[in-house]
Amino acid sequence: MTSSMNPAIVATDLRKSYGDKVVLDGIDLMITEGTIFALLGPNGAGKTTTVQILSTLINADGGNARVFGHDLTREPDAVRALIGVTGQFSAVDNLLTGRENLTLMADLCHLDRAAGRQRIADLLDQFDLTEAAGKPVSTYSGGMRRRLDLAMTLVGEPRVIFLDEPTTGLDPRSRRAMWHIIRALAAEGVTILLTTQYLEEADQLADRVAFLDHGRLIAEGTPRELKRLIPGGHVVLQFADQEGLDSAARTFAAGTRDDAALTLQVPSDGGVGSLRSLLDQLDHASISVAGLSVHTPDLDDVFLTLTGQPDARASRPDHERAPAR
């Protein structure tokens, strides 16, 4: 997707504190035009603050940043003309209808009447809101509201879009629809900075990912590069008794055994071929296995390894990692 290597956003040593609390502790960013950049981190890591600074909503205490060469503090209006922001909390006018909201944006972007009307019709169509266009936004569902929000951001055809947790609180279907829209925008050459708490989302969408923790970037790279930072995948074998575990441990000398849980962790790339050979070896040794799970590294592992919270994953039920709210 990178037709050019122009930097769209360059930030150096961004700092922000509220009173004693340091929210951003020196952030450097370089985002190439036409790419999707994901800023990942838990709540309170400083994601929203970063977006608020880069979108001219608040001033940084230190450091500087440019959007297409325009300095944020010296030329905020030049920056504002290039960007679009869809924040975490829906930025729509609840008393107006969907169409009135879009018309408001078209007027504020100073589109002429005909061009504005055409743009609004296209966006309503693209975001599947034509039917609801005449209804007040207060009657919209969460997914519709988020789509309208993004449509409003796009009226002025921004070259850089900030999406602050664009899918938080959406059901899986609306979430997938939002991903589809984001990919299509990037394909058109729009630069996208998105923040998310969902590692899967960053993995799915982003060309580059940065991990933010306690106001610092702790790692940055492509999802593939980041996954390489941590040890490879493995297969976990679960046994019914100590005997099974003992004989399996003899067969797979490279495994790591856990006597309390009666499990053996065997290094594996998780591929079908290696799984088959593993099962064959078990068969051959007549070892009965109660259960088996394949584990390939994902960004969760990277994040948890980097933040030094390896135990958090085990103690956290799986569904908590899925978008839920």
Partner 1 sequence: MSTLSLAVRDSSTMLRRNLLHMRRYPSMTFLLIGIPIIILLLFVYVFGGTLGAGLGPSGDRSQYANYVTPGILLITVVSAAQGTAISVAMDMTEGIIARFRTMSIFRPSVLTGHVLGSLVQTMLSLVAVTVVALLVGFRPTANAVEWLAAVGVLAMITFALTWLSVALGLVSDSVETASNLPMPLILLPFLGSGFVPTDSMPAAVRWFADYQPFTPVMETLRGLLLGTGIGANGIIAVVWCAVISVGCFFWAKALYNRNRTA
Nearest to 213 by CA among 24, 53, 21, 63: 24
The pattern of x and - marking residues 290 through 319 that bind partner 1 according to CB under 8 A reads ------------------------------
183 touches partner 1 by CB under 8 A: no
Question: Which tokens hold the place of 263?
Answer: 């499990």
Q: Minimum distance from CB of 226 to partner 1 (Å)?
A: 30
58 touches partner 1 by CB under 8 A: yes
Task: Compute CA 109 distance to the chain's CA centroid, rounded to the nearest angstrom.
Answer: 29
Q: Minimum distance from CB of 120 to partner 1 (Å)?
A: 14
Among 8, 9, 14, 85, binds partner 1 (CB under 8 A): 85
CA distance 320 to 317: 6
Please say whether the beta carbons of 136 and 96 come within 8 A: yes
90 touches partner 1 by CB under 8 A: yes
Residue in the block written with tokens 């905020």: 76
Candidates 85-93, 242-250, 257-265, 274-282; binding stretch for partner 1 (CB under 8 A): 85-93
Q: DSSP states of 242-281 as a string?
A: HHHHHHHHHH-TT-EEETTTTEEEEE----HHHHHHHHHH
Nearest to 222 by CA among 205, 236, 237: 205
Among 31, 40, 65, 92, binds partner 1 (CB under 8 A): 92
177 touches partner 1 by CB under 8 A: no
96 phi-psi bin (left φ>0, alpha ψ -120 to 50, beta other): beta
Among 13, 25, 28, 93, binds partner 1 (CB under 8 A): 93
Among 56, 167, 174, 268, binds partner 1 (CB under 8 A): 56
Among 10, 91, 262, 292, binds partner 1 (CB under 8 A): 91
Binding site for partner 1 (CB under 8 A): 18, 55-59, 77-78, 80-81, 83, 85, 87, 89-96, 100, 104, 107-110, 136, 152-153, 156
